[in-house]
């Protein structure tokens, strides 16, 4: 079978300006370190991929704004800067990515994640995780409403403060590794500082 190299579409000047303005105005999560923040702003090698994701994000954003049930669910909280680091980490911004476990799309959503979303939010049942637009909406909802909620409970259990930075770091970790695994790592860890704890978790992904 011939393997074809994927070349992201070249962004138009208007799209570049729109992306620049959007990223410039939005505040990146606390877990995105300064050097990563700057990299996101001046990306060169990955710029076309980011613009490609951004195109889909704007379509997803429009869908959320136009459908009353979705608009009510997200309540105005639908930010490109919030979800982009997740897509970079999970799929390298490739919606065609399919893992051996069946995780799909930008957010690498599993059937288990989709089942949990459908259980908690029936309004999402008509969305298709294979669609780039719907995958963005589903990934955002899963990260924000399911994983973050579970992380708050886990952090409280282990007497770790739910600061913005801690929530963002451990939510991103659990999104990838699962909150059950995070809970076990926090039980097993002998780390005495937050920095050491994060380093310990990072080696166990």
Question: Phi/psi class of residue 105: alpha, beta or left (left: φ > 0; alpha: ψ in -120 to 50)?
Answer: left
Residue-wise pLDDT tens digits, 69-111:
999 999 998 988 888 888 988 898 999 999 888 899 999 998 9
Does the pLDDT at position 31 exceed 70? no
- In the beta sheet, which residues pair with residue 104? 98, 109
Helix 80-91 to helix 13-25 angle, to the nearest 10 degrees?
Answer: 110
CA nearest to 72, candidates 121, 116, 133: 121
Confidence (pLDDT) at 105: 95
Residue-wise pLDDT tens digits, 108-164:
998 988 998 999 999 999 999 999 999 999 999 999 888 888 888 999 999 888 888
Confidence (pLDDT) at 192: 81
Contact 191, 159 (CB under 8 A): no
Give the pLDDT band of residue 26 (cuts 50, 70, 90).
Answer: low
Domain 13-202 CATH assignment equals 3.40.1350: no
Does the pLDDT at position 201 exceed 60? yes
Confidence (pLDDT) at 7: 43
**Distance between CA 134 and CA 140 in Å, rounded?**
10
Give this prediction's pTM. Answer: 0.71
**Distance between CA 105 and CA 148 in Å, rounded?**
20
The CB density around residue 131, as the number of other CB atoms within 10 Å, is: 16
**194: number of CA atoms within 13 Å, CB side?**
12
């Amino acid at each position: 079978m011939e393997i074809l190299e994927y070349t992201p579409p070249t962004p138009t000047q208007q799209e570049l300006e729109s992306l620049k303005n959007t990223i410039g105005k939005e505040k990146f999560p606390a877990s995105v370190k300064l050097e990563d923040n700057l990299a996101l702003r001046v990306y060169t090698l990955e710029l076309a991929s980011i613009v490609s994701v951004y195109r889909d994000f704007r379509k997803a954003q429009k869908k959320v704004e136009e459908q009353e049930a979705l608009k009510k669910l997200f309540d105005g909280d639908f930010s490109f800067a919030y979800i982009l680091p997740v897509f970079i980490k999970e799929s390298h911004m490739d919606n065609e990515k399919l893992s051996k476990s069946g995780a799909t799309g930008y957010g690498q959503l599993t059937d288990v994640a989709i089942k949990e979303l459908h259980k908690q939010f029936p309004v999402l049942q008509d969305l298709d995780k294979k669609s780039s637009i719907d995958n963005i909406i589903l990934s955002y909802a899963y990260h924000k409403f399911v994983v973050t909620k579970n992380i708050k409970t886990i952090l409280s259990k282990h007497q770790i403060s739910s600061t913005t930075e801690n929530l963002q770091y451990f939510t991103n970790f659990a999104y990838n590794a699962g909150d059950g695994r995070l809970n076990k790592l926090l039980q097993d860890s002998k780390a005495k500082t937050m920095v050491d704890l994060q380093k310990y978790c990072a080696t166990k992904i």
